[in-house]
Chains A and B, each alone.
Chain A
Amino acid sequence: MQKYFIYLSVILTVIIFIPLYRVLMGPTLYDRILGAGAIATKTMVLILVIGLVFNRLDMFIDITMAYAILNFIGTIAIAKYLETRGYKKE
């Protein structure tokens, strides 16, 4: 079972690197933000699997929860800023 999780973490690392193309080469700003969010959500799973490999899952779960909250707040803040930027009050 331990060996399975090590292989799984390697595969997840490869999967995480794929949306980096969209972050670097994206045609619009929104594509870049979307790619960054996708990378962050996949990194949560990678952190959990690494915690299971090290047998310290109780510590890594708290890190994952903090990371999920930070990712959500960051994306919402950027979306709200982009939505109201340049808004003229009449």
Chain B
Amino acid sequence: MIGLEHVLAGIIISLGAFFLLVGSIGLIRLPDFFARTHATGKADTLGIMLVIFGLILTQGFSINSVKLLVIIVFVALTNPTATNALAKAAFFRRQRPWFKKDKSLGKKEDQEKKEKD
């Protein structure tokens, strides 16, 4: 017997797993370090929060759900903080952000060829 809360939990957990997949693909596909920080800073945080919220729905009201809520708050505070600290360190170590007019990267040259054609 599967209750309504289990169906709802399954839907929310699947949505969270989808956001985790999007974060992983973004970490591979985006062109620059500062662009990749968006993938882990926002998409991953939302995915983890959704999955743990779905686990709370399966547990009901108990000590486990309170601990899971503590984990949600901790992840929501620390994961963007760590990403921001890393981006700040990279910026102070003279990493240049990627612009569209930047000719030093290979992808831009392909885009210029497409624009000329």
Interface residues of A, Cβ cutoff 8 Å to B? 1, 4, 8, 11-12, 15-16, 18-19, 21-22, 28, 30-31, 33-35, 37-38, 41-42, 44-45, 48-49, 52, 57-58, 61-62, 64-65, 68-69, 71-72, 75-76, 78-80, 82-83, 85
Contacts and interface: CB of A to CB of B under 8 A. Distances in A.
A22 B28 contact: yes
Given A52-B58, A64-B71, A68-B74, A82 B93 contact: yes
Interface residues of B, number: 47
B83 A1 contact: no
B85 A76 contact: yes
Contact of B27 (A22, A72, A75): A22
Interface of B: 2, 6, 10, 13, 16-17, 20-21, 23-25, 27-28, 33, 36-37, 39-40, 44, 47-48, 51-52, 55, 58-59, 63-64, 67-68, 70-71, 74-75, 78-79, 81-83, 85-86, 88-90, 92-93, 95
A58 B63 contact: yes
A42 to B, nearest CB: 6
Contact of A61 (B21, B27, B64, B88): B64
A69 to B, nearest CB: 8
A78 B27 CA distance: 20
A71 B81 CA distance: 12
